[in-house]
């Protein structure tokens, strides 16, 4: 039985191919002329967009929605629209078998209790080479988790806590759910959303800074939705149990994370709007953190080495061009250069012997140091050489941090921006003893990048009962 449409919320969407949304990504996987079944079609955004993109009648599309009002809005753009409740309807009674090249479930599975049965029926409706196109909200989104930590779990008309959601997924639980019900993910993607643009930004800002930083550095912290292209598993591929690697990864506690932030300075000013964040794993010998920076070239860089007190041993800094050639570098032998750099919350000590690292004691809640890169270099880069740097590797920062109380948290790799013009800053060899915390990566599209690379050695606290 279908509920009265007057009591149902109408999901009215528009698709703009220039914007990256779940619907624009899903429709990019639908070829012109494909036969499409849109389950949970809402007011018909996908059918309307495909008609505009490919021409009316080029792509044959059928739809299903629980709301008669939505069906009336969608019907001009669909061959047919069925009004039915997926929890009760039998798709095989409504649509012909092996008829569709793509079945779209755009934010649908989380609304229905009988999703395993719906997935099984989708297998029967797909053509032999057909694909299932899914978008699923991420229950591990940092804003949602922060609101839950504050004691709130408030449903809304739309969003991650839509009042009609009955299932909740993270990346791992979604992939396991699909695998256990006979589907193989061919491609997985994400839609990210910055916290100020989400429904959770106020609750998140109320968290203590250290907690906020930790949440933001978790995998999929800013992933708002998952996009999955899946196909039915063959008899040989059918898997009901999670792979051993996933089972091991799910063991808690996870590895502890640390965070560094790089601020761009313009006219002597640094602000939160022009910063880039990278997170790494405490205890890992070497790891890579990426900072991708936009044009124009800044006139200064400020580094926040970590998000809590501790010791850090610094062995070198180098600014590299996209071709790998050194543009500027610093070593502990240039102790005076670093000692004279503007800083806060840092006690610096030059090497005790030749070849030893430069020691930094980080204290307070926000230690930072302005990297002593000459102003003339920034002026030269900003005058045109910056743009002439060819495409190259991502900016990277490599650190090694000691394990704290054997905590662990998943390592995160930040991918390079394709075809980005880039520089690299290398900070070689840093070591730190501290308690874990993190900050989050920001998603930026940029044509210019740099890298900080740090490596470290473990130091030992004088007493297990004392914090370094």
Per-residue model confidence (pLDDT) at position 419: 33
CA distances to 36, 138, 227, 345, 458 from 187, rounded to whole Å, are 19, 17, 8, 45, 39
The region of weakest confidence among 15-29, 249-263, 341-355 is: 249-263
- Beta bridge pairs of residue 434: none
Neighbouring CB atoms inside 10 A of 219's CB total 17
pLDDT in tens, 96-125: 998 899 999 999 999 999 999 999 999 999
Phi, psi (deg, nearest 5) at residue 29: -90, 5
3-state secondary structure of 458: coil
3-state secondary structure of 302: strand
Per-residue model confidence (pLDDT) at position 441: 36
The token pair at 406 is 């054997």
Mean local confidence (pLDDT), 139-159: 89
Neighbouring CB atoms inside 10 A of 274's CB total 15
- For residues 435 and 403, the answer to whether their CB atoms sit within 8 Å is no
Mean local confidence (pLDDT), 145-157: 88
Buried residues in 57-70 as b, exposed as e (16+ CB within 10 A): eebbbbbbbbbebb
Mean local confidence (pLDDT), 51-72: 92
C-alpha 333/C-alpha 329 separation (Å) is 11
Percentage of residues in the chain with pLDDT exceeding 70? 68
Given phi > 0 = left and psi -120 to 50 = alpha, else beta, which region is 458? Answer: beta
pTM of the predicted protein model: 0.60
Mean local confidence (pLDDT), 128-139: 96
CA distances to 93, 121, 240 from 96, rounded to whole Å, are 8, 11, 28
3-state secondary structure of 266: strand
101: CB partners within 8 A, 6+ apart: 31, 34, 35, 36, 126, 127, 129, 130, 131
Instruction: Choose from 242-246, 310-314, 392-396 the range with maximum mean pLDDT.
Output: 310-314
Question: In Å, how far from its chain's centre is CA 404?
Answer: 25
Q: Set out the domains of the chain in order of their start, with CATH numbers.
A: 5-249 (3.40.50.150), 257-449 (no CATH)
* pLDDT of 92 above 50: yes
* pLDDT of 154 above 60: yes
* pLDDT of 45 above 80: yes
Per-residue model confidence (pLDDT) at position 71: 93
- For residues 250 and 151, the answer to whether their CB atoms sit within 8 Å is no
Per-residue model confidence (pLDDT) at position 157: 87
C-alpha 137/C-alpha 158 separation (Å) is 11
- For residues 216 and 222, the answer to whether their CB atoms sit within 8 Å is yes
pLDDT in tens, 207-258: 777 787 778 878 899 899 999 999 999 877 765 545 544 554 444 445 566 6
Q: Pick 436 or 295 by higher pLDDT.
A: 295
The region of weakest confidence among 72-76, 345-349, 356-360, 452-456 is: 452-456
C-alpha 304/C-alpha 376 separation (Å) is 23
The token pair at 261 is 């932030």
Per-residue model confidence (pLDDT) at position 6: 44
C-alpha 191/C-alpha 170 separation (Å) is 13
The band of 172, judged by pLDDT with boundaries at 50, 70 and 90, is very high
C-alpha 93/C-alpha 82 separation (Å) is 11
Q: Pick 188 or 264 by higher pLDDT.
A: 188
The region of weakest confidence among 95-99, 137-141, 187-191, 194-198 is: 194-198
The band of 323, judged by pLDDT with boundaries at 50, 70 and 90, is low
- Contacts of residues 55-63 at CB distance under 8 Å and 24 or more positions apart, as own/partner, are 58/32, 58/33, 59/30, 59/32, 59/33, 59/34, 59/35, 60/34, 60/35, 60/36, 61/35, 61/36, 61/37, 62/36, 62/37, 62/38, 62/95, 62/100, 63/37, 63/38, 63/39
Per-residue model confidence (pLDDT) at position 467: 33
């Amino acid at each position: 039985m279908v509920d009265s449409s007057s009591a149902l919320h109408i999901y009215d969407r528009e698709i703009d191919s220039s914007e990256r949304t779940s619907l624009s990504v899903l429709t990019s996987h639908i070829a012109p002329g494909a036969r499409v079944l849109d389950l949970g079609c809402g007011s018909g955004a996908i059918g309307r967009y495909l008609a505009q993109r490919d021409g009316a009648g080029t792509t044959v599309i059928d739809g299903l929605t629980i709301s008669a009002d939505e069906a009336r809005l969608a019907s001009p753009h669909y061959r047919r629209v069925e009004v039915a409740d997926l929890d009760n309807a039998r798709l095989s009674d409504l649509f012909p078998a092996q008829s569709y090249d793509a079945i779209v479930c755009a934010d649908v599975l989380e609304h229905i209790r009988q999703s395993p049965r719906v997935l099984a029926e989708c297998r029967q409706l797909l053509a032999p080479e057909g694909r299932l196109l899914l978008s699923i909200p991420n229950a591990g989104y940092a804003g949602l988790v922060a609101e839950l930590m504050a004691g709130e779990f408030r449903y809304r008309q739309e969003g991650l806590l839509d009042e009609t959601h009955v299932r909740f997924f993270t990346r791992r639980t979604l992939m396991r759910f699909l695998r256990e019900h006979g589907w193989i993910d061919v491609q997985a993607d994400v839609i990210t959303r910055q916290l100020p643009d989400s429904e959770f930004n106020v609750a998140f800002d109320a968290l203590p800074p250290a907690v906020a930083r930790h949440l933001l550095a978790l995998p999929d912290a800013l992933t708002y939705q998952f996009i999955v292209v899946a196909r039915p598993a063959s008899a040989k591929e059918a898997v009901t149990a999670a792979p051993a690697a996933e089972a091991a990864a799910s063991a808690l506690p996870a590895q502890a994370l640390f965070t560094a932030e790089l601020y761009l300075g313009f006219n002597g000013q640094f602000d939160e709007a022009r910063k880039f964040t990278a997170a790494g794993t405490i205890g890992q010998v070497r790891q890579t953190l990426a900072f991708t920076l936009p044009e124009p070239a800044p006139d200064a860089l400020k580094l926040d080495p970590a998000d809590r007190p501790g010791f850090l041993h610094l062995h070198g800094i180098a600014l590299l061009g996209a071709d790998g050639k050194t543009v500027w570098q610093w070593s502990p032998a240039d102790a005076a250069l670093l000692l004279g750099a503007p800083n806060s919350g840092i006690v610096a000590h030059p090497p005790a012997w030749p070849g030893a690292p430069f020691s930094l004691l980080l204290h307070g809640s926000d230690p930072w140091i302005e990297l002593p890169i000459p102003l003339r270099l920034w002026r030269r880069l900003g005058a045109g050489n910056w743009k002439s740097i060819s495409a190259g590797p991502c900016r990277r920062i490599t650190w090694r941090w000691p394990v704290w109380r054997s905590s662990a948290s998943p390592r995160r790799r930040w991918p390079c921006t394709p075809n980005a013009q880039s520089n690299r800053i290398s900070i070689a060899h840093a070591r730190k003893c501290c308690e874990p915390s993190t900050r989050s990566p920001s998603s930026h599209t940029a044509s210019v990048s740099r890298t900080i690379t740090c490596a470290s050695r473990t130091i030992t606290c004088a007493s297990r009962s004392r914090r370094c």
